[in-house]
Amino acid sequence: MDKARIAILLSGRGSNFLALREAIERGEIPAEIVLVLSNQANAGGLAKAESFGLKTICLPHRGLARAEHEDQVLQALRAENVEWLCLAGYMRILTPLLIEAFPQRIVNIHPSLLPAFPGLDAQQQAWDYGARIAGCTVHLVDSGVDTGPIVMQTAVSAEGLSSGDELAAKILEQEHRLYPRALARLLGGPWRVDGRRVMFPSR
């Protein structure tokens, strides 16, 4: 199977990037990471990518209009012939420029069972709400905040935990399993979007 040329976009520590990279190295995802892009020069994930010898680029957004920054991002992606984008803690809301350049080829992981708790600090939101079941979601990206069609989800029990941080750690473990599985499924065979539903043929 041809390997998809993927870019990872991140703004922080990059543990989901590592999980994706390890699964790719194990041959579980038919993909090649051709670029790791960050808007934050001090992102831990960027340093890790460099240490692996991956191609990296930092495009700070500060001082730029949103459209101007995103145009720079798009040029960088085009220069590497990127086919798919994996958002992994990328703290920017995408504009239609990128979304239309990669139709149904932008994937994100969010640390809640969407549509509950979109936006920032989702795990703390779930904890503060008293949710007894929390979790994580891999979804296709549209122009809303964490609103795109759901690809896969994993539920996590909050029973017996004593803080939002504990819940976040428990969810993160599952994120590292879910994201590679979901990406492998998207890249590994046919699927389509029917309304809000990502349809995989039964197997």
Cβ-based neighbours of 105, under 8 Å, separated by 6 or more: 83, 84, 85
Burial class (CB in 10 A: 0-12, 13-18, 19+), 110: buried
CA distance 194 to 178: 22
- Catalytic one among 69, 110, 139, 176? 110
Site string for ligand GRF, 150-189 (x = CB under 6 A): ----------------------x--x--------------
60-74 per-residue burial string, b: 16 or more CB within 10 A, e: under 16: ebeeeeeeebbebbb
Q: Which is nearer to ligand GRF, 71 or 153 (CB)?
A: 153
Q: Is 110 a catalytic residue?
A: yes
> Residue 13 interacts with ligand GRF (CB under 6 A)?
yes
Among 14, 148, 164, 180, binds ligand GRF (CB under 6 A): 14
For position 110 contacting ligand GRF by CB under 6 A, the verdict is yes
Site string for ligand GRF, 34-73 (x = CB under 6 A): -----------x----------------------------
- Residue spans of alpha helices (H) in the chain: 15-25, 44-51, 66-79, 96-101, 122-129, 164-188
Footprint of ligand GRF on this chain (CB under 6 A)?
10, 12-16, 45, 88-89, 109-111, 172, 175
